Chain A
Amino acid sequence: MLMLKRKTRGEAIFDFVNALGMALICFVTIYPIWYVLVNSFNDGTDAMRGGIYWWPRQFSLDNFAAVFRSEGIMMAMGVTVAKTLVGTVAHVFFTAMVAYAFSRRGLIGGKIYILIGTVTLFFGGGLIPTYLLIRDLHLLDNFLVYIIPVLFSFFDLIIFMTFFREIPEGLEEAARIDGANDWSIFLRIVLPVSMPVLATIALFHGVYQWNDYFTGMIYINNTDLQPIQTYLYRVVAESSSNQMMAAVPGGVTRSVTSQSIKLATMVVTTAPIVFVYPFLQKYFVKGMMIGSIKG
């Protein structure tokens, strides 16, 4: 606004009401999460009386102690951390590698490869044919089921390709004259200058890996291999919270209830995402835009 005219009364009222409305939306967004947070830091038995809205009434860390002592929960946490780290690195590397090759002009068969990929955006096999494939590949009850079937995404490839095509060709030419082959150009030149797009895809895939409960639910029977989200799903949806109490060995104090352990587990599961995402915000906003324009 370059206008230097003073705000009219109507404008001022508009601004005030608008800001108030936005503040209200923020409150409505944050409060349900806050409610879970304060209740998880409250003594479990006391929390059953209800009425803890703003701050813990009887502050207690017992719920979290119980979560961290529970072997089942910790095991599931470990699976989640492992699948998120391995899955994200593998997905970003593999998809970027294919995207680099697809994005080179003069690649023999390049048009056909892209056509093959575009078809996958519109058609898929669906639940059962995919399930049968996973079974035939012996990926049932196998950690690799979290990694290999989502190693590649043509949608992410489009985002990578858009970015790779903007890299100045001179950079690559110089390396080629120095005798670098395509592998070393990809690894030493293309990847390092593509950090923003790598971070975007890594964030999207990382969040997917962290939050996905369905894979663990249909392909995994072995409870040692189930991620924390699947574990929580079984507790939340099948409301078998007694199972959660059973998972906590011996020294469960009286102050801990199945509900309070559930809340604490939810908080522990969500915390990493909440802490990481504001720092990556500028990347994913950009990535969303490339993705939406192309997709």
Chain B
Amino acid sequence: MERKIAAGASELPSDREGRSRRWWRRLLQQRHLQTMALLGVAWMFIFNYIPMYGIIIAFKEYNIVDSIANSPWVGLDHFREFLQDDELGGVIRNTLGISFIKLLIGFPLPIVFALFLNELRSVRFKKTVQTISYLPHFLSWVILGGILATWLADVGIINNILMALGLISEPISYLAEPKYFWGIVITSDIWKELGWSAIIYLAAMASVSPEQYEAATMDGAGRFQKMFYVTLPNIRPTIAILFILAVSGVLNSNFDQILVLRNSLNESASNVIDIYVYQTGIQQGRFSYSTAVGLLKSVIALVLLLVANGVTKKLNNTSLF
């Protein structure tokens, strides 16, 4: 109340003084809160903002001896080098290829799974299916890589079965052949995340009012029609938002996954942009060059996010921001 009156009145010097004194008193009162908040801000400054400043080495020739600030500027040399690199074509093909197939198959599958799971009549069975389908999400890619290596080994279960069926005469070393790599990556990713990705859709479906289904039943709609004309339109905003995020992430191959599954034999199919950044940066120590490649990727990803956001906003009236 008091504050309101003070703000309404014309500012006399004594008023301003009183305000500043009140501000200091308020700050003093919340000194504990400010301590907590500033600890967080300090952490973000060190671990988020200092690395952002470090990006300038993409435009410099950084070496271990000089500090970031003292390294000489080289302009866009590293970007030019990357665009002329022989590996560029393969890196782009692998990154976009894997991502687009994942988007094409891996994005709609959880929606279909959630739609059918939602139709299960027994609540207990539904819960059980959910619990089981979430499980692989909690396994690390290292463990899953171990499982895959066991399954796909020369004496593994896949080769055993295919040979028993007479479909192949010699065991195939799946992880050693580039042509199988994309298939392995996409299948194992779907296996791991199918149930987990469905959670959000299931939550959205749970909030659809039963009256809508009753009305549809009255109109003589069958199960498929209800799924298609009642459930699906209701979860459209959720789908739109997840689609924006998926599109903006097309340059993000699943780094953890590919790092585990790749090897020198399948390199021509497994060298994606994140792996390239890791190899040139950490393994070869080309700090500036690797940062430049990573920066280029982030900028494109940000543009994609904005474009996807704009397009869905136009088409669907739903957007992330």
A3-B214, A113-B40, A270-B139 known; A108+B34 contact, CB < 8 A: yes
Q: Does the CB pair A35–B157 fall under 8 Å?
A: yes
Nearest chain B CB to A111's CB is how many angstroms away?
12
Stretch at the interface among A25-33, A56-64, A193-201, A248-256: A25-33
Known contacts A2-B214, A10-B222, A113-B40, A273 near B132 by CB under 8 Å:
no
CB of B191 closer than 8 Å to a CB of A: yes
Q: Does A129 contact B (CB under 8 A)?
A: yes
Contacts of B319 in A (CB 8 A): none
Cβ-neighbour of B281 out of A11, A15, A117, A127 (below 8 A): A127
Mark the stretch among B10-18, B93-101, B286-294 that contacts chain A.
B286-294
Contacts of B48 in A (CB 8 A): 119-120, 124-125
A182–B37 Cα distance when bound, in Å, is 12
Contact A25–B54 (Cβ < 8 Å): no
Contacts of B267 in A (CB 8 A): none
In the bound complex, what is the Cα–Cα distance between A107 and B119 (angstroms)?
Answer: 48
Given contact pairs A3-B214, A22-B117, A128 touches B281 in the complex (Cβ within 8 A): yes
Chain B residues closer than 8 Å to A149, beta-carbon distance: 47
Q: Which residues of B contact A36 (CB under 8 A)?
A: 146-147, 150
**Residues of A with C-beta under 8 A to B116:** 18, 21-22
Is B32 touching A181 in the complex (CB atoms < 8 A)?
A: yes
A212's nearest neighbour on chain B, judged by CB, is B140
Contact assessment for A107 and B30 in the assembled complex, using a CB-CB cutoff below 8 Å: yes
B29 to A: closest C-beta gap in Å: 9
Please name all residues of chain B whose beta carbon is closer than 8 Å to the beta carbon of A100 when the two chains form the complex: 36
A-side contacts of B310, CB under 8 Å: none
What is the interface residue range for chain B against chain A? 35 or more
A residues within 8 A CB of B119?
Answer: 14-15, 18
Min distance, Cβ B259 to any Cβ of chain A, angstroms? 7
Complex Cα–Cα for A182 and B249 (A): 40
Q: Pick the most buried of B117, B146, B217, B256: most chain A CB atoms within 10 A of its CB.
A: B146
Pick the residue among A22, A48, A262, A288 that contacts B200 (CB under 8 A): A288
Contacts A22-B129, A131-B281 given: A207-B138 contact, CB under 8 Å?
yes
Say whether A174 faces chain B, with CB atoms less than 8 Å apart: no
Interface residues of B in 187-228 (CB under 8 A from A): 191, 194-195, 199-200, 203, 210, 213-214, 217, 222-224
B54 with A125: CB separation less than 8 A: yes
Structural contact, A39 and B142, CB atoms closer than 8 A: no
Interface Cβ pair total, 8 Å cutoff: 259
Q: Do the beta carbons of A26 and B33 come within 8 Å of each other?
A: no
The interface centre, meaning the residue of B68, B140, B255 with most chain A CB atoms within 10 A of its CB, is B140
Answer whether residue A283 sits at the interface, using C-beta atoms and an 8 A cutoff. Answer: no
Q: Once the chains bind, are B125 and A3 in contact (CB under 8 Å)? A: no
Majority secondary structure of chain A interface residues (helix, strand, loop or mixed): helix
The reply to whether the CB of A143 lies closer than 8 angstroms to some CB of chain B is no
Interface residues of B in 103-144 (CB under 8 A from A): 113, 116-117, 119-122, 125, 128-129, 131-136, 138-143
Q: Is A218 an interface residue (CB 8 A)?
A: yes
CA distance A86 to B104 in the complex (A): 40
Q: A102 CA to B38 CA in the complex, in Å? A: 10
In the complex, B6 has a CB within 8 A of chain A: no
Minimum Cβ distance to chain A for residue B35 (Å): 8
B186 CB to nearest chain A CB (Å):
15
- Chain A residue nearest to B27 (CB atoms) is A108
What is the interface of chain B mostly: helix, strand, loop, or mixed?
helix
List A contacts of B54 (CB < 8 A).
125, 128-130, 132-133
Closest to A30 in B: B132
Task: Collect the chain B residues with CB atoms within 8 Å of residue A154's CB.
Answer: 44
Residue B308 CB within 8 A of the other chain = no
Instruction: Write the nearest CB–CB distance from A212 to chain B, whole angstroms.
Output: 8
Asked whether B82 is an interface residue with its Cβ less than 8 Å from the other chain, the reply is: no
B243 adjacent to chain A (CB < 8 Å) = no
What is the chain B residue whose CB lies nearest that of A270?
Answer: B143
In the complex, per-residue mask of B80-97: 1 if CB is within 8 Å of any chain A CB, else 0: 000000000000000000
Q: Which of A122, A182, A278 has the most CB of B within 10 A?
A: A182
Asked if A289 is at the interface of the complex by the 8 Å CB criterion, the answer is: yes
When distances are taken between beta carbons in the complex, the residues of chain B under 8 Å from A151 are 43
* Chain A residue at minimum C-beta to C-beta distance from B67: A136
User: Could you tell me if B51 and A120 are in contact, using CB atoms closer than 8 angstroms?
Assistant: no
Q: How far, in whole Å, are A15 and B295 apart by their CA atoms in the complex?
A: 51
Question: Interface of B with A (CB < 8 Å)?
Answer: 23, 26-27, 30, 32-34, 36-37, 39-41, 43-44, 46-55, 57, 68, 113, 116-117, 119-122, 125, 128-129, 131-136, 138-143, 145-147, 149-151, 155-157, 160, 191, 194-195, 199-200, 203, 210, 213-214, 217, 222-224, 241, 255-256, 259-263, 277-278, 281-282, 287, 290-291, 294-295, 298, 302
Q: A128-B54, A289-B203 are in contact. List 15 more A-B contacts (CB 8 A).
A: A18-B119, A18-B120, A26-B132, A30-B135, A32-B151, A50-B160, A94-B39, A108-B34, A122-B302, A125-B50, A125-B54, A129-B51, A129-B52, A229-B142, A266-B147
Listed A/B pairs (28) with beta-carbon separation below 8 Å:
A14-B224, A19-B125, A26-B133, A29-B133, A30-B132, A50-B156, A113-B37, A113-B40, A120-B49, A124-B52, A124-B298, A127-B281, A129-B52, A129-B291, A130-B47, A130-B51, A132-B54, A133-B50, A207-B138, A211-B139, A212-B140, A233-B260, A236-B142, A236-B146, A236-B149, A237-B263, A281-B131, A292-B241
